[in-house]
Amino acid sequence: MSGIPDVIIVGAGAAGVAASIQLAGSGFSVTILEARERIGGRMFMHRDPAFQSPIAMGAEFLHGLPPEIWEPLKSRHVLIKEVTGDLWCSQNGELSTCDFFSEVDDILKKMDANSADESFLSFLERCFPESKSNSKLSDAKRRALSYVKGFNAADPGRVGVHWLVQGMKAEEKIQGDRAFRSENGYEDLLDYFRQEIKETGVVVEHKTIVDSVSWSPGRVEIGAHRDNEARKFSASRVLITLPLGVMKTAIADEGAVPIAPPLPRTKLDALQKLEMGKVIRVVLRFRERFWDRIFPPAQSSKNLSLSMMSFLLSEDEWFPTWWTTMPDKLPIITGWAPFDCAERLSGQRRCFVTEHALQALGNLLHVKADKLASLLEVAYFHDWQSDPFSRGAYSYGAVGSDGAQETLASPLENTLFFAGEATDTGGHNGTVHGAIASGRRAAKEILATVGTHTTQ
C-alpha cells in the first residue's frame, strides 16, 4: 500500500469522521488530521465522578429522530431517554409554569420564505408594530426573540427569516421539537465512531495542527505541525471540515488555515453570509437538588414545587436559560448564555463565569448566591468562542444567505471538498446530524469522481 493516502480529511468532528468511515468502507485509504487529542470536535464529554453522569461541554441533546444518529445508537442497543418534566418561566421576579408557547408559535408561523428576506428583528418590528399597546403580544414578541437567540445562538438583527423557515420545516420532518439524551450522552455516538474507524482502518493523526493547504487540480500539499515537529502530507483529494468560525478566521490568528490559491470569490461571499453563533454554557453540580424544596408563591394553590423542573426560561442578562437532567434526578443543572450574554462572558476566567452563573440562578430561584456557592461542588465550563479550533458554537444563516450552504459545500476541481454543519443543505445547520449528513454527502462526491475504487 502507498504511504500517500487516497484522501486526507482535515478535522475529526462529526462530519470528518462520518466521511472517513464511508470512504474507507469503500476501499479508500483515509488519513484524518485532527488538531485536538480526541475526535468529536464540538461533541465534547466529561464524566462526573460523583454520579458517573455524562457532562456535555458541547452538543448534548438529540433533537428529534434524525436517522444519522438514531441508527448507529440503535445498532449498539444504546438506552435513549426523552427529556420530560415541567417548563418554568421567570417573569417580573415571579416563577410560574410557562404558558406562552402557542403565542410564540403563532409569531414564528407568520415568517414567510416567499417574501423578501429580512432579519428576524426586522420581521418582528414590521409585522407586529401594535405590540406596544398589547401587553400579551409584547410578551410573546420578547419570548420569540429570546427563543431565536437561545435556540439558534443567533443575533436576531442578523439571522435571516428564510434560514429560520428552512430550519423549522426541516425540524418538523424529524419531530425536532422533541429532545432526547442517550445513556452516556454523545460519548455513545463517539464510541460507535471509534469502533468504525478501527474496523475500516482510518488513520487519525491527533494533535496535528494544519498550517497551510496548497492545491492544484488533482494534488494537495498540506503543511502541519505536531508539538514542535513540522509535518507534510499530500493526497489527490482533501476534504475540509473546519468549523465556520475557523474558516472565517484571519490568517494571522491561531487556528487559521490559509488555502493557496485562495478560495474563489463565490465561496468567500458565501462565508460572509453565514455566521457563527455564540454560546457559553456552565454545568453546576451541587450537593443536593435544592430546587426540589422550592414552592413558588404564584403556584401556592397547586402546592407545586420545582422538583419536576426540566427547563427554566427567563430574560436574565447573563444566563437566561437553565435545564436539569430530567428525567434523571441528579443535583446537576446547566446554564445557557447565548449571543450577547456569551459575548459578555467569553474570554473570562472560570471563576468569573461561575460567579455570574450562581448569581443568575440565585436571582431566578430566590436563593442567595452565597447559599448556592456553599452547596456547589464543581462547575464544568468550556469557552468555545476562545477555542482556536472552533471559534464559536454553531452556524446560522444571515439575511440573504439563500444558497450559501450549497456554494460553500461545492467541490473545487474534484480536489478540494467541503463538509461540516455549516455546509448542510437540508436545513439542519448547527446540529450533529447535519454535520454527519454533510460528511456523507461529501464522501459520495469523492466516490463519484472515480467510481468504484479498490486500494492496491
User: Is 268 among the domain residues?
Assistant: yes
Residue range 89-100: average pLDDT? 89
User: Is 392 among the domain residues?
Assistant: no
Global confidence as pTM? 0.95
Instruction: Please report which confidence band the pLDDT of residue 427 belongs to, taking 50, 70 and 90 as the band edges.
Output: very high
Identify the domain boundary among 173, 199, 232: 173
Q: Pick the range with the lowest mean pLDDT from 6-15, 102-111, 192-201.
A: 102-111
Which amino acid, one-letter code, is at 258? P
Considering the domain architecture, whether residues 282 and 378 belong to the same structural domain is answered as: yes
Instruction: Please report which confidence band the pLDDT of residue 454 belongs to, taking 50, 70 and 90 as the band edges.
Output: very low
Question: Do residues 13 and 420 lie in contact, with contact meaning Cβ atoms separated by under 8 Å?
Answer: yes
In this prediction, residue 451 carries a pLDDT of 57
Instruction: Please report which confidence band the pLDDT of residue 1 belongs to, taking 50, 70 and 90 as the band edges.
Output: very low
161-209 confidence digits (pLDDT tens): 999 999 999 999 999 999 999 999 999 999 999 999 999 999 999 999 9
In this prediction, residue 430 carries a pLDDT of 96
240-282 confidence digits (pLDDT tens): 999 999 999 877 787 789 999 999 999 999 999 999 999 999 9
User: Is 378 among the domain residues?
Assistant: yes
CA distances to 209, 356, 361, 373, 381 from 369, rounded to whole Å, are 42, 9, 8, 6, 19
Considering the domain architecture, whether residues 288 and 375 belong to the same structural domain is answered as: yes
In this prediction, residue 128 carries a pLDDT of 87
pLDDT greater than 80 at residue 41 = yes
Considering the domain architecture, whether residues 403 and 259 belong to the same structural domain is answered as: yes
Considering the domain architecture, whether residues 288 and 360 belong to the same structural domain is answered as: yes
Q: Residues for the chain: how many in total? A: 456
Considering the domain architecture, whether residues 404 and 264 belong to the same structural domain is answered as: yes
Strand, helix or coil for residue 382: strand
Considering the domain architecture, whether residues 198 and 345 belong to the same structural domain is answered as: no
Residue range 111-126: average pLDDT? 95
CATH of the domain at 80: 3.90.660
Closest CA to 208 of 188, 190, 222: 222
In this prediction, residue 132 carries a pLDDT of 65
In this prediction, residue 36 carries a pLDDT of 97
Higher pLDDT, 201 or 131: 201
Instruction: Please report which confidence band the pLDDT of residue 437 belongs to, taking 50, 70 and 90 as the band edges.
Output: very high
Cell of 218: 488533482
Identify the domain boundary among 353, 382, 411: 382
In this prediction, residue 390 carries a pLDDT of 96
pLDDT greater than 50 at residue 453 = no
Domain count across the chain: 3
Residue range 268-297: average pLDDT? 96
Considering the domain architecture, whether residues 310 and 405 belong to the same structural domain is answered as: no
Considering the domain architecture, whether residues 371 and 330 belong to the same structural domain is answered as: yes
Angle (CA) 101-102-107 rounded to 5° is: 95
Identify the domain boundary among 144, 173, 202: 173
CATH of the domain at 21: 3.50.50.60
Question: Do residues 341 and 319 lie in contact, with contact meaning Cβ atoms separated by under 8 Å?
Answer: yes
Considering the domain architecture, whether residues 271 and 404 belong to the same structural domain is answered as: yes
In this prediction, residue 302 carries a pLDDT of 72
In this prediction, residue 455 carries a pLDDT of 40
The pair phi, psi for residue 87, each rounded to 5°, is: -100, 125
Considering the domain architecture, whether residues 65 and 106 belong to the same structural domain is answered as: no
User: Is 2 among the domain residues?
Assistant: no
In this prediction, residue 151 carries a pLDDT of 94
In this prediction, residue 242 carries a pLDDT of 97
pLDDT greater than 80 at residue 51 = yes
User: Is 179 among the domain residues?
Assistant: no
User: Is 416 among the domain residues?
Assistant: yes
User: Is 393 among the domain residues?
Assistant: no
Q: Rounded to an integer, what distance in angstroms lies between the CA atom of residue 239 and that of residue 248?
A: 17
Closest CA to 194 of 23, 35, 52, 14: 14
Higher pLDDT, 228 or 16: 16
User: Is 96 among the domain residues?
Assistant: no
Q: Which residue segment(s) compose the domain that 417 sits in? A: 7-42+186-275+399-450
Mean pLDDT over all residues of the chain?
94
The pair phi, psi for residue 258, each rounded to 5°, is: -70, 140
Q: Rounded to an integer, what distance in angstroms lies between the CA atom of residue 157 and that of residue 155?
A: 5
In this prediction, residue 303 carries a pLDDT of 77
In this prediction, residue 341 carries a pLDDT of 96
Q: Pick the range with the lowest mean pLDDT from 131-140, 304-313, 327-336.
A: 131-140
Which amino acid, one-letter code, is at 340? D
Q: Rounded to an integer, what distance in angstroms lies between the CA atom of residue 454 and that of residue 456?
A: 6
Q: Rounded to an integer, what distance in angstroms lies between the CA atom of residue 16 and that of residue 33?
A: 10
